[in-house]
């Protein structure tokens, strides 16, 4: 069976005893590590941030939480950067440092990693896919597989991926949004919109500057989005608000502004339009045979799917009911861990066992 689009199935040696299997979702903002443990998973999360020397960006000084603390307040000769942009590995050395850290977190000292499965964007090019495999091997894993994040999400969410009927996953992350149609255990169609929660945060900063003449920090914009955010939809959702202190662009003094749900919804709108365009493209290509499956089994995952009104807005636009995953930020990692623990996880009977 095919675990990544049209690629050849990787050769698996199932006779070997593998010491540790890990599933890793290398995200733009967060890297989630899932380690199969009996019927469940041990889950760990680190920010996808590394600190590097400014004059030698391949020299990594700190990774994850430690590096995140340096964001925006690093000394002049140190830079805190994200190795992935818009869901894609931008700097191989930095991404590798992130992956090594993720693997260390997932195992006990002295242990080795036998098999890792890395989730990558569904529309990743051959070069991007090879880069992910290579950093996995260089990081010390014996077997490295990459699978599409959308497929991993569907497996993690327990959707009936092996059936011929069709399933839809919408993964709304920080840097990109994948819309994936799955049937017969493989990817039937995919549309990637290269924007996500990060773009909303940037737009909130812009709107606040336009409306109040105040500059606010990107982290305050993100935090406001998470606390009061919503998406314009036909349902009347409560308009919440939160106070943020920024810098007056007029006086350079601190100035209080109130960010409400409506402002966030306005900031989400251009991004929402792109998702709707993506959904329309997918639906135009969808064969009638798959429509019923998609209608009955559509799920949204990824941190940005937590925005109030997403489900309602998508239904307003395309008349398909969407379920929002209960664990939107870890479901991709769980899916990769299921495949890591049992590479035949995509066979229906094995998958059912793995999901028990
Ligand atoms: N409650 C919330 N409401 C709105 N957005 C949220 C909420 N919680 C998290 N987010 C957003 O979700 C995004 C992170 O989601 P996720 O961890 O799925 O992204 P990622 O996997 O790192 O990115 P990508 O899949 O694009 O590479 C961030 O933009 C964050 O601000
Ligand atoms: Mg993601």
Residue-wise pLDDT tens digits, 216-225: 999 999 999 9
Q: Residue 170: pLDDT band by 50, 70, 90 thresholds?
A: very high
Looking at the predicted structure, is the pLDDT value of residue 342 above 60? yes
Measure 308 CA to ligand 1 centroid, in angstroms. Answer: 14
pLDDT at 160: 83
CATH top-level class for 1-48+87-157+326-356?
A: alpha beta
Q: Give the 3-state secondary structure of residue 76.
A: coil
Q: Which of 73-77, 101-105, 243-247 has the lowest mean pLDDT?
A: 73-77
Burial track 155-165 (b if 16+ CB lie within 10 A, e otherwise): bbbbbbbbeeb
Burial of 337 (0-12, 13-18, 19+ CB in 10 A): buried
Least confident of 139-143, 271-275, 352-356: 352-356
Q: Quote the strand ranges of 82-137, DSSP E.
A: 84-85, 88-89, 115-120
Q: Is 226 near ligand 1, meaning CB less than 6 Å away?
A: yes
Output the pLDDT for position 353: 38
Q: Which of 128, 151, 174 to mutate to test the pocket of ligand 1 (most atoms within 8 A of CB)?
A: 174
Nearest ligand to the CA of 85 is 1
Mean pLDDT, the chain, integer:
88
Q: How far is the CA of 253 from the centre of ligand 1 (A)?
A: 31
* Residue range(s) in the chain whose domain bears CATH number 3.30.420.40: 1-48+87-157+326-356, 162-324
**pLDDT for residue 135 is more than 90:** no
d(CA 70, CA 85): 18
- For ligand 1, whether the C-beta of 165 sits within 6 Å is no
Statement: residue 16 has pLDDT above 60: no
Q: Is the CB of 47 under 6 A from ligand 1?
A: no
Residue 347 has pLDDT above 70, yes or no: no
Range list of β-strands (E), 27-157: 30-37, 40-47, 50-53, 56-63, 78-81, 84-85, 88-89, 115-120, 143-148
C-beta 122 within 6 A of ligand 1: no
For residues 77 and 54, the answer to whether their CB atoms sit within 8 Å is yes
Whether domain 162-324 has CATH 3.40.50.10490: no
- Please say if the pLDDT value at position 124 is more than 50: yes
Q: What is the mean pLDDT of residues 136-158?
A: 88
Least reliable range by pLDDT among 11-25, 53-67, 92-106: 11-25
In this predicted structure, what is the pLDDT of residue 122? 76
Tokens encoding 156: 């993690």
Average pLDDT estimate for 190-214: 96
Percentage of the chain with pLDDT > 70?
90
């Amino acid at each position: 069976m095919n675990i990544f689009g049209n690629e050849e199935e990787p050769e698996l040696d199932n006779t070997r005893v593998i010491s540790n299997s890990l599933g890793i979702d290398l995200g733009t903002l967060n890297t989630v590590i899932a380690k199969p443990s009996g019927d469940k998973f041990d889950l760990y999360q680190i920010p996808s941030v590394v600190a590097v020397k400014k004059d030698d960006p391949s020299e990594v000084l700190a990774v994850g939480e430690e590096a995140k603390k340096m964001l925006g307040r690093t000394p002049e000769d140190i830079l805190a950067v994200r190795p992935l942009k818009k869901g894609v590995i931008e700097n191989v050395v930095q991404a590798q440092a992130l992956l090594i850290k993720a693997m260390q977190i997932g195992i006990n000292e002295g242990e080795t990693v036998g098999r890792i499965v890395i989730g990558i964007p569904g529309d990743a090019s051959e070069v991007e896919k090879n880069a992910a495999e290579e950093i996995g091997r260089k990081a010390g894993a014996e077997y490295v597989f990459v699978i599409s994040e959308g497929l991993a999400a569907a497996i993690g969410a327990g959707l009936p991926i092996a059936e011929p009927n069709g399933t839809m996953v919408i993964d709304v992350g920080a840097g990109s949004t994948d819309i994936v149609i799955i049937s017969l255990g493989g990817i039937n169609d995919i549309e990637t919109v290269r924007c996500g929660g990060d773009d909303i945060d940037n737009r909130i900063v812009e709107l606040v500057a336009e409306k109040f003449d105040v500059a606010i920090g990107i982290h305050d914009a993100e935090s406001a989005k998470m606390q009061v955010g919503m998406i314009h939809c036909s349902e009347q959702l409560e308009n919440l608000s939160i106070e943020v202190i920024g810098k007056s662009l007029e006086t350079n003094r601190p100035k209080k502004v109130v960010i409400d749900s409506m402002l966030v919804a306005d900031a989400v709108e251009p991004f929402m339009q792109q998702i709707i365009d993506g959904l329309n493209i997918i639906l135009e290509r969808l064969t009638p045979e798959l429509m019923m499956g998609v209608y009955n089994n559509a799920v949204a995952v990824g941190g940005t799917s937590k925005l109030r009104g997403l489900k309602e807005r998508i239904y307003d636009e395309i008349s398909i009911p969407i379920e929002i995953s209960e664990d939107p930020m870890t479901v991709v990692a769980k899916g990769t861990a299921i495949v890591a623990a049992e590479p035949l996880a995509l066979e229906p009977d094995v998958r059912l066992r793995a999901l028990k």
